[in-house]
Amino acid sequence: MGDIQIRAVNEEDKEAITELVKEFVISLNEPFYESLWMTLLESYFVGLSVKELAFTDIGIFCADNGDKLVGCVVAEVEQDLLKRKYGDISLWYVKQEARGQKVGKKLLEAAVSFLKDKGVTIIESNIREEAMAASKIFEDMGFKRRYTRLRLTTK
């Protein structure tokens, strides 16, 4: 595997990034809502071409090994009910074949940098129990554990 480049997703990546996100979501035994993902992705591309739109508060980054995308992360600027801006990092994923090469850390650094450039002072992310080992990367970057989120599935 060659050098891995971390970069913003571009229009030519639509199919590859969609497959990568789908693989990630399905690996969590969750349903992949393609229409919801495509809405987010299209909003991102519109924001790239029309800077005046609110959609510029989304950053989608990928890890490209030259042949294919092997990782991704989404960074979004959001507001809470008190209108405070904060950053949210989601869909952070590295394919098995690229793990152990600091790809996850580099993706996370790109997301954090994007959010800081947007003026965000608080950045949050959820980590699933199945991926707790990956939380060390967040902690090494200064993230602190704040909450435990529980889920009850009734059907």
- Assigned domain for 146 exists: no
pLDDT at residue 1 in the model: 47
Read off the pLDDT of residues 89-118 as tens digits, 9 standing for 90 and up. 999 999 999 998 999 999 999 999 999 999
Residue 148, φ and ψ in degrees, nearest 5: -120, 125
- Assigned domain for 26 exists: yes
Rounded Cα gap, residues 136 and 119, in angstroms: 25
- Assigned domain for 154 exists: no
What's the order of all strands across the beta sheet hosting 123-125? 5-8, 58-64, 69-79, 85-94, 123-125
Angle of the 34-49 helix axis to the 14-27 helix axis, nearest 10:
140
pLDDT at residue 2 in the model: 59
Domain span holding position 114: 5-140
- Assigned domain for 147 exists: no
Average pLDDT, rounded, for the chain: 88
Pairing mode, if any, of strands 123-125 and 5-8? unpaired
Q: State the total domains in the chain.
A: 1
pLDDT at residue 22 in the model: 94
Q: What is the CATH number of the domain that holds 25?
A: 3.40.630.30
- Assigned domain for 153 exists: no
Q: What is the DSSP letter of 75?
A: E
- Assigned domain for 155 exists: no
pLDDT at residue 123 in the model: 94
Rounded Cα gap, residues 62 and 20, in angstroms: 10
Read off the pLDDT of residues 127-142 as tens digits, 9 standing for 90 and up. 877 777 788 888 999 9
- Could you tell me the pTM of the whole model? 0.85
Please state, for a pLDDT cut of 90, what percent of the chain lies above it: 54
When pLDDT is averaged across residues 25-51 and rounded to a whole number, the result is 84
Residue 119 tokens read as 């003026």
When pLDDT is averaged across residues 79-86 and rounded to a whole number, the result is 84
- Assigned domain for 150 exists: no
Rounded Cα gap, residues 49 and 28, in angstroms: 33
